[in-house]
Amino acid sequence: MSEPVLTLEGIAKSFGANQILANVGFSIRPGEVIGLLGPNGCGKSTLLNLISGVFPADAGRVIFCREDITGLGMDRIARRGLVRTFQLPSMPRRMTVAELLYAASARKAGFRSLFRRETDEKAEIDGLLDDLALSHVRHLPAASLSGGQKKLLSIALVLRASPRMICLDEPTAGVHPNLRHHMIGLLQRIRASGITLLIIEHDMHFIRELCTRCVVMDRGAVIADCLPSQLTSNEQVVEAYLGNARQKRAMA
């Protein structure tokens, strides 16, 4: 069996007296597509922020490709190949979609680029824009795109950052069903290219179409780690989402 690409060990996080995560741990193997599920407020986005370096964990370790990345900043983690999208992607007002895609490859756009000959990436960027049905908006300011187009663009941006693993925070939230279908196709192609995916999502159809495994959280802890097909038969998962089982027990 191949080595995990990402391992979380005993992750804990509190904001003041409010404990958000307690002893969270699981591993992800290369090429897997993990659906991270759970009701609102269960700690999914906090966990994603910890993995991607938005803020540090109070306890525990994050191992990415055999390297301990606990406490590293977001930029250093991204340069190691672990990149993410945001639930509500905020895009630049004074940069076009095409400019943003060129800028997304940080390795080619820093200070050193002033002293290097630029590589021609037009074909790559045109292909990406065609793939995402964004060719017709390439010259528009990125902030002027619709919510769904911004979600697609944010996936394109992380693809330009040479990722080994991508974390997506609710990629289909607020996205039109037509675009959702388009997004599933795109993510399946990303998966086929060998990039590992961790996806926070509430859409069960999306999860079943795409994910190879699901990790379910409730109140800051992992309550299930199973196949997508086993979700509905898992009592803890049903209880976390619907609360019926707990209610029945209380009434009994």
In the numeric block, which tokens belong to residue 77? 């983690």
| Given 59, 63, 65, 106, the residue binding another protein (CB under 8 A) | 106
205 binds another protein (CB under 8 A): no
Is 94 among the residues that bind another protein (CB under 8 A)? yes
Task: Compute the least distance from the CB of residue 62 to another protein, in Å.
Answer: 16
Among the listed ranges 40-48, 59-67, 95-103, 182-190, the one in contact with another protein (CB under 8 A) is: 95-103
Choose, by CB under 8 A, the member of 62, 98, 199, 237 that binds another protein: 98
Q: Does 73 bind another protein (CB under 8 A)?
A: yes
Least gap, CB of 210 to another protein (angstroms):
22
**Burial annotation 51-77 (CB, 10 A radius, 16+ → b, else e):** bbbeeebeebebbbbeeebbebeeeeb
Which is closer to another protein, CB of 82 or CB of 214? 82
| Inter-residue contact 175 to 150 (CB < 8 Å) | no
Stretch touching another protein by CB under 8 A, among 71-79, 128-136, 223-231, 236-244: 71-79
Q: Closest approach of Cβ 102 to another protein, in Å?
A: 5
Neighbours of 130 (CB within 10 A): 10
Q: Is residue 118 part of the contact set for another protein (CB under 8 A)?
A: yes
**CB nearer to another protein: pick between 118 and 193:** 118
Which residue among 13, 44, 84, 191 contacts another protein (CB under 8 A)? 84
**In the range 139-178, which residues lie near another protein by CB under 8 A?**
139-141, 157-158, 160-161
What is the C-alpha radius of gyration for the chain, rounded to an integer number of angstroms? 19
- Euclidean distance between the first and final Cα of the chain, in Å? 46
Please identify which residue in 34, 83, 168, 186 interacts with another protein, judged by CB under 8 A: 83
Footprint on this chain of another protein (rule: CB under 8 A) = 52, 73-76, 78-79, 83-86, 89-96, 98-100, 102-104, 106-111, 113-114, 118, 138-141, 157-158, 160-161
